[in-house]
Amino acid sequence: MPKNFARYEQFLRIFAILDILVAARQPLDDQTLIGMLKERLGLSKLSTRTLHRDCEFLVACGYPIAHKPLAGDRRFAWSFDRDATGRKLLPEGVTILEMVAFRVGRDMLRTFEGTILWTGIEALRNKIERDLPAELLAQVEDAGNVFCVRCAEPARYAAQPRLISALSTAISDCREIEVETRSEDKTTTARRRIRPISLIIRLPRVQLLGWHVADGTEQRPLLVDVESISKVKPLDVTFKPRPIDPDSLPDGADG
């Protein structure tokens, strides 16, 4: 098991610096380069000292990275000299940290087993893992023991495998739908015409966010627990999406 995941984060950071500088059309000063790294890797902070240490490591490895003053400016900037070497940069590799993070995310989404989302997750996992060395996969399995994820209700939506697909298609196509929902005790049903906007994931719940339509006009925003939906009927009516802020609505489903 790796002793320090921070070493793998350092690898990602250094490789990202190299990739950014190779692609840059002009020298990048410290703050610009730091900003690009924070956005690309999701870093909350990155010091100038750490940036300089990473760049100096790349220089020590033989990469032609220069830190020179900008013309007419007191600031210094980093650049990659493409003419200084015939070195062919290797494609960025997959690290243990990336694989462990992916697997944690996958395990957290097990509630979608049996739906199109799980199909996509598993297809991506296979694409990532099929070309990885067996030794690396073994280390990933070992390192994965650091994080033990227990999904509250795995395969919660597997009983209706096409439901997520039908709802996501209607949202993408901006198409009105008629949904039939069951009450909590499953003794009564109700039908509503909805202009769907998005699927809101508040695990383990998934809710349909949209506008309730009556008499051909939008009446009010609503949240419907996807688990309560028994039928979805796409209608031959499209609409122009009108955004809703999901945080402005209560967590509970619309009654």
Provide the residue ranges of all domains of the chain, joining segments of one domain with +. Answer: 5-80, 96-146, 163-248
Distance between CA atoms of 252 and 121, rounded to whole angstroms? 28
At residue 175, does pLDDT exceed 70? yes
Mean pLDDT across the stretch 87-110? 82
For residue 131, how many other CB atoms are within 10 A of its CB? 7
At residue 1, does pLDDT exceed 50? no
Angle between helical axes of 163-173 and 116-129 (0-180°, round to 10): 90
Distance between CA atoms of 74 and 69, rounded to whole angstroms? 6
Q: Is 212 exposed, middle or buried (0-12, 13-18, 19+ CB in 10 A)?
A: middle
At residue 2, does pLDDT exceed 80? no
Query: How confident is the model at residue 252, as a pLDDT?
Result: 55
pTM over 0.85: no
Q: Which CATH class name applies to 5-80?
A: mainly alpha
Give backbone dihedrals phi and psi of 117, rounded to 5 degrees, phi first: -65, -40
pLDDT tens figures, 195-214 = 999 999 988 889 999 999 98
Query: How confident is the model at residue 90, as a pLDDT?
Result: 57
Distance between CA atoms of 142 and 152, rounded to whole angstroms? 23
At residue 125, does pLDDT exceed 70? yes
50-59, 63-72, 217-226: which has the highest mean pLDDT?
50-59
CATH of domain 163-248: 2.30.30
